[in-house]
């Protein structure tokens, strides 16, 4: 299948410390790729390079064959690369519903309308509630986002990403910090989106056992380097990965 | 029921406007009319400021520059040409054009400057305008300023009072619609989390510019009305005091609301008037800025959300207490 996202020699250095070091990958359309690696391996930084939060020191990012290395996050989202954040990143003093409604509004391309009341676009709210229902958060729609429990904020984060309906979903540890009972429901949501079959998903996940059966491929980052990239079986068998990551360093 | 609750503040506001509209016909006090006129003018100014600070989260210390542009535009047109309605309209158009251009450029600067640098920069820009008004003597008559005549229609205090009242109501309802439009909702998202707004696909800079221009033009309109009310303009319209007034009114009334700046303007102007009266008894009251400083500190310490914000919170808590079941049902249904 056609390549959707490609990175070429992608690197970023923070004052002498190279957090992402010459990573070249290519992700086909409708692919499900997982990124694993110990804390501090550079996974989130790699996402920041894909979504435009950071500009690389070296290397390039391509999307559908176009060089998007210098695109802003806004532009990348509009092109079809959406992301969620590991450290919850929502609108604290707006309601849960409004958080998602804003994403729905952006997805619908209603960006500069200033003459009508926002309630005129009722269907935005209805759609937002549908997304909230999907992540089991619809009962909290009228709470302020800042009043949510940690796990609920994580769900809101995911709902906001889904509402953008981007071609690419970059999910940065969506279940991090959730209570154990909440995790299966979120994995279920991710599974369902995968099964719909129209998205390309890149998932960072610490808990490796959970994602092996979901993933078409797994890449391993270690100290900013791409240690291995292959099918889940290959990764499990890979000796370098075993010793470097699955062995001593994995807590 | 829900719909009514939504509209309730607007209905209260309309009633309040209606009462004020009738006031000059039943109660004749020139001083009160002048004071209220002043309150209406500063309400417009403070609402325009709140659009920036309270709704979009842009802190500007130079809001006086738009106010001053409006004041000088009307003054110069009335002085140089005829004090009639044609030139009044020209002054309004000039103000809109000037404030729109300046606020567009100033809005553009939010791109490059972090918030405190932006605040400092706007402050020095306003200072620049002040110096310009001082030095460009042929046009502005320097520091002392100049008096001018106003169109016939505005000479009558009641007429002018009504004009300012209608102006305030129009700005209130106009801004209410603006902040509740899809665009206005994005402004509030920017206030909450700029970076996330960008990654939702909104071009943050465009919104900041939109807020800056709407805010700047309205501040200019307030400046026009202010100068007409005094029939005099001097460089003080560009001074920090004007910006501080807007800041105080907004914070005391409640940032991020539209009723807040109006209430704040009322309180500050009444207090100012009252303290000026007391100053005849004792000199300490002449230093009214000290009192405002104290009020300001108390408000920020005890009611950080201002009067309107605090009242809202209380009302909200009460509602939650008295219908806990109902709100649960609503959430579920
Ligand atoms: N903005 C930044 N400035 C400086 N160092 C950073 C920055 N972002 C990440 N790093 C560093 O890069 C390394 C990788 O971090 P990160 O990508 O968050 O790891 P992971 O997500 O794999 O746990 C860490 O050592 C971190 O301290
Ligand atoms: Mg991370």
CA end-to-end span of chain A, whole Å?
37
Q: Which two tokens stand for residue B22?
A: 């009738």
* Residues A148 and A215 grouped into a single domain: no
| No. of helices (H) and no. of strands (E), chain B | 16, 2
**E strands, B109-266, where?**
146-147, 232-233
CB contact under 8 A, B199 and A73: yes
φ and ψ of B58, to 5 deg: -100, 120
Q: Which two tokens stand for residue B288?
A: 């009214």
pLDDT at A250: 46
CA–CA gap between residue B191 and residue B54 (Å, rounded): 8
Q: Nearest-CA neighbor of B93 among B220, B235, B210?
A: B220
* Residues A145 and A215 grouped into a single domain: no
Query: How many angstroms away from the CA of A1 is the closest CA of chain B?
Result: 27
Select the residue of A115, A139, A160 nearest B181 (Cβ to Cβ).
A115
Looking only at the bridges linking them, the beta strands covering B232-233 and B146-147 are antiparallel
Of A166, A190, A219, the residue that ends a domain is A166
Report whether A148 contacts A140 (CB < 8 A): yes
Looking only at the bridges linking them, the beta strands covering A3-14 and A58-63 are antiparallel
Nearest CA to ligand 1 atom 5: A14
pLDDT > 60? residue A249: no
Query: How many angstroms away from the CA of B175 is the closest CA of chain A?
Result: 10
CA–CA gap between residue B196 and residue B189 (Å, rounded): 8
Q: Which domain holds residue A48?
A: 1-80+169-179+199-251
CATH of B29-302, one of 1.10.10, 2.40.10, 1.10.3470, 3.20.20: 1.10.3470
A contact test, residue of B173, B177, B199, B332 with most A CBs within 10 A: B199
The Cβ of residue B258 has, within 10 Å, a number of other Cβ atoms equal to 26
Report whether A204 contacts A171 (CB < 8 A): yes
* Residues A18 and A30 grouped into a single domain: yes
* Residues A50 and A92 grouped into a single domain: no
**Residues contacting ligand 1 via CB (< 6 Å):** A 14, 19, 37, 39-45
* Max Cα distance, chain B (Å): 71
Three-class SS state of A2: coil
Query: For A34-71, what is each residue's pLDDT tens digit?
Result: 999 888 999 999 999 999 999 999 999 999 999 999 99
CA–CA gap between residue A175 and residue A43 (Å, rounded): 15
Residue A192 lies in a domain: no
Q: Which DSSP string corresponds to A67-113? A: E-TT--HHHHHHHTEEE--SS----TTSBHHHHHHHHHHHHTT--S-
Using a 10 angstrom Cβ sphere, with 0-12 exposed, 13-18 middle and 19 or more buried, the burial of residue A123 is exposed
Report whether B58 contacts B110 (CB < 8 A): yes
Going edge to edge, which strands form the sheet with A200-204?
A81-83, A168-172, A200-204, A32-36, A217-222, A225-230
Residue A187 lies in a domain: no
Region at A84 (left for phi over 0; alpha for psi -120 to 50; beta for the rest): beta
Using a 10 angstrom Cβ sphere, with 0-12 exposed, 13-18 middle and 19 or more buried, the burial of residue A22 is middle
CB contact under 8 A, A113 and B183: yes
Nearest CA to ligand 1 atom 2: A14
Query: For B107-126, what is each residue's pLDDT tens digit?
Result: 998 767 777 788 889 999 99
Report whether B151 contacts B77 (CB < 8 A): no
| No. of helices (H) and no. of strands (E), chain A | 9, 10
Please give the C-alpha separations between residue B217 and each of B44, B49, B51, in angstroms, as whole numbers: 11, 11, 12
Residue A160 lies in a domain: yes
* Residues A173 and A54 grouped into a single domain: yes
Q: How many domains does chain A have?
A: 2
* Confidence band of A151 (pLDDT split at 50, 70, 90): confident
Q: Nearest-CA neighbor of B254 among B49, B66, B60?
A: B49
Report whether A171 contacts A203 (CB < 8 A): yes
E strand or H helix at A20: strand A17-28
Residues in contact with A220: Cβ distance below 8 Å, sequence separation at least 6, in sequence order: A35, A36, A37, A226, A227, A228, A229, A235, A238, A241, A244, A245
CA–CA gap between residue B78 and residue B228 (Å, rounded): 10
pLDDT at B327: 37
Residue A186 lies in a domain: no
Looking only at the bridges linking them, the beta strands covering A66-67 and B146-147 are unpaired
Residue A16 lies in a domain: yes
Residue A190 lies in a domain: no
pLDDT at B89: 95
Each residue's pLDDT, cut to its tens digit, for chain B (333 residues) gives 444 556 777 888 889 999 998 888 888 788 899 999 999 999 999 999 999 999 999 999 999 999 999 999 999 999 999 889 999 999 999 999 999 999 999 999 876 777 778 888 999 999 999 999 998 888 888 888 899 999 988 989 999 999 999 999 999 999 999 999 999 999 999 999 999 999 999 999 999 999 999 999 999 999 999 999 999 999 999 999 899 989 989 998 888 999 999 999 999 898 888 887 777 777 666 666 667 777 777 776 677 777 777 777 777 666 655 544 333 333 333
* Residues A230 and A174 grouped into a single domain: yes
pLDDT > 70? residue A137: yes
* Residue B194 or A177, more confident: B194
* Residues A1 and A106 grouped into a single domain: no
Nearest atom in ligand 1 to A48's CA: 17
Select the residue of A102, A114, A116 nearest B189 (Cβ to Cβ).
A102
Mean pLDDT of chain A: 89
Beta bridge partners of A133: none
Report whether A42 contacts A226 (CB < 8 A): no
Residue A132: which CATH number? 3.40.50.300
């Amino acid at each position: 299948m056609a390549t959707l996202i490609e990175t070429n020699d992608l690197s970023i250095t923070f004052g002498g410390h190279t957090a992402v070091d010459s990573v070249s990958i290519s992700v086909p359309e409708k692919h499900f790729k997982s990124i694993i690696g110990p804390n501090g391996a550079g996974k989130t930084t790699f996402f920041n390079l894909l979504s435009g939060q950071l500009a690389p020191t070296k290397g390039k990012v391509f999307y559908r064959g176009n060089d998007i290395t210098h695109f802003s996050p806004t532009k990348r989202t509009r092109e079809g690369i959406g992301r969620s954040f590991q450290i919850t990143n929502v609108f604290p003093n707006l309601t849960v519903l409004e958080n998602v409604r804003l994403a729905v509004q952006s997805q619908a391309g209603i960006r500069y309308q200033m003459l009508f009341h926002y309630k005129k676009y009722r269907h935005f709210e209805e759609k937002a509630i549908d997304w909230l229902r999907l992540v089991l958060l619809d009962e909290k729609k009228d709470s302020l986002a800042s009043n949510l429990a940690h796990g609920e904020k994580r769900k809101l984060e995911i709902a906001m990403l889904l509402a953008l309906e981007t071609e690419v979903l970059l999910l940065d540890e969506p279940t991090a910090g959730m209570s154990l009972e909440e995790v299966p429901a979120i994995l279920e949501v991710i599974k369902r989106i995968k099964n719909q079959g129209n998205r390309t998903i890149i998932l960072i996940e610490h808990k490796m056992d959970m994602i092996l059966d979901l993933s078409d491929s797994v890449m391993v980052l270690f100290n900013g380097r791409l240690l291995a990239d292959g099918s889940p079986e290959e990764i499990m068998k890979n000796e370098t990965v075993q010793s470097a990551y699955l062995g001593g360093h994995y807590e | 029921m829900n719909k009514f609750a939504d509209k309730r503040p607007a209905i209260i506001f309309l009633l309040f406007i209606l009462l004020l509209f009738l006031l000059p016909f039943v109660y004749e006090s020139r001083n009160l009319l002048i004071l209220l006129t002043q309150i209406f003018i500063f309400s417009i100014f403070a609402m325009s400021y709140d659009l920036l600070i309270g709704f979009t989260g842009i802190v500007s210390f130079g809001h006086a520059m738009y106010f001053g542009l409006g004041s000088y535009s009307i003054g110069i047109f009335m002085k140089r040409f005829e004090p009639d309605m044609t030139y009044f309209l020209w002054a309004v158009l000039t103000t809109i054009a000037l404030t729109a251009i300046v606020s567009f450029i100033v809005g553009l600067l939010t791109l490059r400057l972090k918030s405190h640098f932006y605040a400092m920069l706007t402050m020095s820009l306003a200072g620049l305008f002040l110096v310009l008004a001082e030095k460009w003597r042929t046009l502005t008559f320097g520091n002392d300023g100049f008096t001018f005549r106003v169109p016939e229609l505005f000479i009558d205090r009641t007429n002018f009072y009504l004009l300012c009242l209608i102006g305030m109501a129009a700005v209130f309802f106009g801004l209410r619609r603006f902040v509740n439009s899809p665009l206005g909702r994005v402004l509030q998202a920017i206030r909450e989390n700029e970076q996330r707004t960008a990654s939702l696909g909104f071009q943050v800079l465009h919104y900041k510019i939109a807020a800056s221009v709407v805010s700047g033009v309205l501040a200019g309109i307030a400046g026009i009305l202010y100068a007409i009310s005094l029939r005099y303009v001097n460089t003080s319209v560009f001074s920090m005091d004007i910006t501080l007034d807007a800041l105080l009114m907004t914070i005391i009334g409640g940032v991020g609301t539209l009723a807040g700046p109006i209430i704040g303007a009322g309180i500050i102007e009444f207090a100012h008037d009252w303290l000026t009266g007391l100053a005849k008894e004792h000199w300490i009251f002449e230093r009214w800025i000290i009192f405002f400083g104290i009020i300001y500190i108390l408000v920020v310490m005890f009611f950080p959300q201002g009067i309107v914000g605090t009242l809202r919170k209380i009302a909200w808590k009460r509602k939650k207490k008295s219908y806990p079941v109902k709100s649960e049902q609503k959430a579920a249904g």
